[in-house]
Amino acid sequence: MPCTATVEIKDLRLNAQIGLFCPGERAPDQHLLDLTLSIRPELVLIESDGMAHVFDYDPLVVEIDRLARDGQYETQERLITRIAQACAEYTDVEAVDISLRKSPVLSDTGSLGIRLRVDADEIKRLRTT
């Protein structure tokens, strides 16, 4: 098996407003993001220490936060789509796995999530649109 590398962000709490709710209906109070970026192994197996040799994920996290705060979303799917497009802007990202879940779902329990896996071909397509 060839060498692979990922950057993983887990349980990132997004300040997002997602969904349409009737008066008196409780809106989810948590939106958690898990994000796995497949990157070139050379950005992890490095000869010397330094940010110039690795994938700098901080600007992407800032952009994801901006997208989450960008206004009301009807659906989780739209926010995930925008996050996938933001990831595609980074040429070091070869593929991405995004999971966004909200809670509570019913009677102050449960979580409901959406997952999107974007392979290398789709990442390239996103870059050209």
**Read out DSSP for 86-116?**
HHHT-TTEEEEEEEEEEE--BTTB--EEEEE
Residue 21's pLDDT is what?
74
Residue 79 is predicted with a pLDDT of 97
> What was the pLDDT predicted at 1?
65
Query: Residue 19's pLDDT is what?
Result: 83
Task: Give pLDDT, residue 129.
Answer: 77
Beta-strand pair 17-18/30-39: unpaired
Domains identified in the chain, total number: 1
Q: What is the pLDDT of residue 94?
A: 97
Q: What is the CATH number of the domain that holds 83?
A: 3.30.1130.10
Which residues of the chain carry a pLDDT beneath 70? 1
Alpha-helical (H) ranges within the chain are: 58-68, 76-88, 120-128
- What is the reported pLDDT for 106? 82
| Angstrom distance (rounded) from CA 42 to CA 127 | 22
User: How many Å apart are CA 4 and CA 61, to the nearest integer?
Assistant: 22
Tell me what pLDDT residue 122 has.
96
| Contact (CB, 8 A) for 100 and 28 | no
Asked if 62 and 89 count as a contact pair (C-beta separation under 8 A), the reply is: no
CA-CA-CA-CA torsion sign (86, 92, 97, 103):
negative
| pTM for this predicted structure | 0.91
Query: Can you give the residue range of the structural domain that contains 28?
Result: 5-128
Asked if residues 94 and 121 have their Cβ atoms less than 8 Å apart, the reply is no
